[in-house]
Structure 1
Amino acid sequence: MGKVFERIDDSLKTWIQAQPMWFVGTAPLQSDGHVNVSPRGHDSFSVLGERRVAWVDYTGSGVETIAHIRDNGRVCLMFASFDSRPRIARLHGTGSVWLPGDAMFHDVVTRHPANPSTRAVVSVDVTRISDSCGWGVPMMEMAGEHDLFRRHAEKKGVDGMVTYRAERNAVSIDGLPGFPM
C-alpha cells in the first residue's frame, strides 16, 4: 500500500521533476462524458510550492484537459518511474487555466524554454499527494523528446496557430468550451 504525504517535500519534488513523462487525468461532470488521460513531457512542469504545481500547456489536437478543468476543476497528475527504482506518485487537486497576460502564466512560462506552441498554463492546488509501488511499470530508457510541437507551431506561424486553435481547440469531444476562452 502506498503512502500519503502532507506536502511535496524536496525529495518528492526532485523525483517528480526528474520524470521525463507524466500523465494528466480529467473528466467532465456529465455522466456520459469522456474521461481523458493525456501524456505530457518536455521541460514544462514546475513545483511552485508544497501544495501547488503548474505546467506549460502546448497546443494539441484536442482541448480536453482545459475543457474539463473549466467544467469542474478536478484533476489528477500521475508520475511513474520507468528506471530501475519503481515508483508512482499521484497529485490530486483543483486546476485553473491561465492565459497570456495573467501573472501565473508569465511566472510559469519563464521557468521553461520558450515554445511557440504554448497556449496556456495550468496550475493545480494539490489536495492529496500519494505514492505507490509501481512494480507493474516496465523499465524503459529515454531516447529523447519529439520536437513536433515547436516545428508545427513554427510552420503555421502566429496567425496560423490562432486559426488552428479556433478550429481544433474550440470545444472538447463532449462539446464543452475549450480554447480560446
Structure 2
Amino acid sequence: MGKQLHKLTVSLQDFMAEQKIFFVATAMSEGRINLSPKGIDTFRVLDEKKICWLNLTGSGNETATHILHHNRMTILFCAFEGAPKIVRLYGTASVFHPGDQEFGALCTLFPEIPGTRQIFEMSVELVQISCGMGVPIMAFEGNRKELIDWAKGQGEEGLEAYRNKKNSISLDGLSTRIQKG
C-alpha cells in the first residue's frame, strides 16, 4: 500500500493544496515531541523538494526551539474528504523571523494574516504516501475566526508583549529566538 518518493509530484502538490489542515511534528534529541495542527492559508510548495509554511502566534512556540536545536521536521496531510490518502513529508527545516531577509521574501507568498509570527522552510528529503483508509470522512465547514480576531484585537504591540511572555521559552526551558526588546 505504501509508496516512497524523493520529490513532490504535481499530483501530490495538488492534493496538499486541497487539504484544509496539515500537521507539523518536531523533536530535539531529548525532551518533548511537538505535534501541531495548522490550517488557514498557511502552506506553500516552493518546488518539488522545498515547502514553507506561515506560523501564526499561538499559545506556545515549541517548533521554533526544536528547529534551532535539531532541524528535522515531519509534515502530515491526510484526506478527510474524497479518496483516502496520507502524505508525510520528512526533511530538515529552518525558521525565519520578521527581520530575517528570508522572512520578507517568503512572506509575499501568503495573504496578510494578523498574528503572523514566523515562516518555516523545509527541504523535503522523503515523501511517504499511504492509504489513509483508517482516517474518518469529515466535512469542512470553514476556518475558525477566533485566532485572527484575537490577533487583530491585540495589535502589534500587544502581540509582541504576548510573544515575549508566552512564546519566548519552550516547555523544556530553551529559547525560541523570538523575544524582542
- Range of TM-score over shorter length: over 0.9
TM-score, normalised by the number of residues in structure 1: 0.95
Aligned twin of 1:110: 108
Is the CA contact 1:27–1:35 (under 8 Å) kept in the aligned structure 2? yes
Q: For structure 1, which segment, 142-151 or 71-80, has the greater mean C-alpha deviation from structure 2 after superposition? A: 142-151
The answer to whether the aligner puts 1:63 opposite 2:74 as a matched pair is no
Shift of 1:179: 4.1
The answer to whether the aligner puts 1:127 opposite 2:115 as a matched pair is no
The answer to whether the aligner puts 1:15 opposite 2:33 as a matched pair is no
- In 2, the alpha carbon distance for the partners of 1:162 and 1:153 equals 11
Aligned twin of 1:148: 146
- In 2, the alpha carbon distance for the partners of 1:137 and 1:104 equals 36
- In 1, the alpha carbon distance for the partners of 2:101 and 2:54 equals 13
| Alignment root-mean-square deviation, CA | 1.2
Rate the CA distance shift 1:131–1:95 in 2: closer, same or farther, 3 A.
Answer: same
Deviation string for 1:91-114 (max 9, x for gaps)? 001110012233432233222221
Q: For structure 1, which segment, 95-104 or 121-130, has the greater mean C-alpha deviation from structure 2 after superposition? A: 95-104
TM-score, normalised by the number of residues in structure 2: 0.95
Is the CA contact 1:46–1:108 (under 8 Å) kept in the aligned structure 2? no
Unmatched 5+ stretches in structure 2: none
Aligned twin of 1:3: 3
Q: For structure 1, which segment, 165-174 or 109-118, has the greater mean C-alpha deviation from structure 2 after superposition? A: 109-118
SS of equivalent to 1:111 = coil
Aligned twin of 1:26: 26
Unmatched 5+ stretches in structure 1: none
Equivalent residue pairs, number: 179
